[in-house]
A and B are shown apart, each in its own frame.
Chain A
Amino acid sequence: MVEAILFVVMGISALAGAVTVVIARNPIYSAMGLLGTLFSVAVLYVVQLAHLVAAVQIIVYAGAVMTLFLFVIMMVGVDKEESREEELPLQRVMVGALAGVVIVAAGVITVVGDFDWVPAAATTITEDSTNGTVQAIAEPLFTDWVLAFEATALLLTIAAAGAIVLAQFKRQRS
């Protein structure tokens, strides 16, 4: 019962935040909408026992990434007018038609074809095996996926170096 209530409340909150991101004229409001969505999704993670991932979501996304976003919005300026006129109206119609076809096809596959998008669990479902504690996440992370884990360390180093190079202020040489 608690899960159903949380799903409805946090689902509506996540969707409202997502819509705010898209329709807000001021990028600051977009950032606030994204923040709301991130928190709502983090609650949905906790509901599904993904405790560590929810904590990382709050710390990394809502903390670090959103701070970076707000910093850049302030730097670039919030008062820039964005043109909403469509210069390629035909392409908007084409994308809309394509999206409609995809949605209808997915609906037909699900309803008529009786297709299961998520296959049933091979083993009996227990709360313990997907309880995302630090230990439960760390065990596969440092055994099965240790190479990928090391690769992410390299990726983060490259990203930090790349950001420094890109943001470096180059003075005009006379």
Chain B
Amino acid sequence: MIVPVDWYMALAAALFVIGALGMLLRRNALVMFMCIELMLNAVNLTLISAGRAMNDINGQVAVFFILVVAAAEVVVGLAIIVAIFRRRTSASVDELSELRG
């Protein structure tokens, strides 16, 4: 192993932080969704790297499951965005306040 696992962890942490920042800074629901994908990918990278460093194939199996759940999440999330857009003609999350108590 030439590249130490710490480097992969650092790269994944950077990707996760960028995704979290996008989640906080952007208001477009679609871009926020992409930032969630970014964070999921960062976590997947940590699982693969840690699985390799700890000599355990189950890290890759966990990534497999995360991919399936992410795909299901994207399908439902985008369907919700499309349904909202039909009513509101806007993808900005700041304008969605109908459920406000």
Q: Which residues of A pack against B, CB within 8 Å?
A: 1, 3-4, 7, 11, 14-15, 18-19, 21-22, 27, 30-31, 34, 37-38, 41, 44-45, 47-50, 52-53, 56-57, 60-61, 64-65, 68-69, 72-73, 75-77, 80, 82-83, 87, 92, 95, 99, 117-126, 129-130, 132, 136-137, 140-141, 144-145, 148, 152, 155-156, 158-160, 162-163, 166-167, 169
Contacts and interface: CB of A to CB of B under 8 A. Distances in A.
Given A34-B37, A122-B54, A162 B85 contact: no
Nearest to B71: A60
A80 B29 CA distance: 12
Given A3-B2, A41-B45, A83-B94, A34 B72 contact: no
Given A15-B14, A34-B38, A125-B55, A41 B3 contact: no
A65 B71 contact: yes
B60 A50 contact: yes
Interface in B1-43: 1-3, 5-9, 11, 14-15, 17-19, 21-22, 24-28, 30-31, 33-35, 37-38, 41
A12 to B, nearest CB: 10
A94 B35 CA distance: 21
Contact of B53 (A4, A118, A162): A118
A154 B70 CA distance: 14
Contact of B79 (A3, A21, A57, A167): A167
A66 B17 CA distance: 21
A15 to B, nearest CB: 6
Contacts of B85: 75-76
B50 to A, nearest CB: 5
Given A56-B64, A159-B72, A167-B79, 19 more contacts: A4-B3, A7-B3, A14-B15, A18-B14, A22-B26, A22-B35, A34-B34, A44-B48, A48-B8, A50-B60, A61-B41, A65-B74, A76-B85, A76-B91, A126-B55, A130-B56, A137-B61, A141-B61, A159-B76
Interface string B59-99: 11101110111111111101111110110001110100000
A11 B11 contact: yes
25 contacts: A14-B11, A19-B18, A22-B26, A27-B30, A31-B34, A34-B34, A37-B15, A38-B41, A44-B45, A44-B48, A48-B49, A50-B52, A56-B67, A60-B71, A83-B27, A118-B53, A125-B53, A125-B55, A126-B55, A132-B57, A136-B60, A141-B61, A148-B65, A159-B72, A163-B76
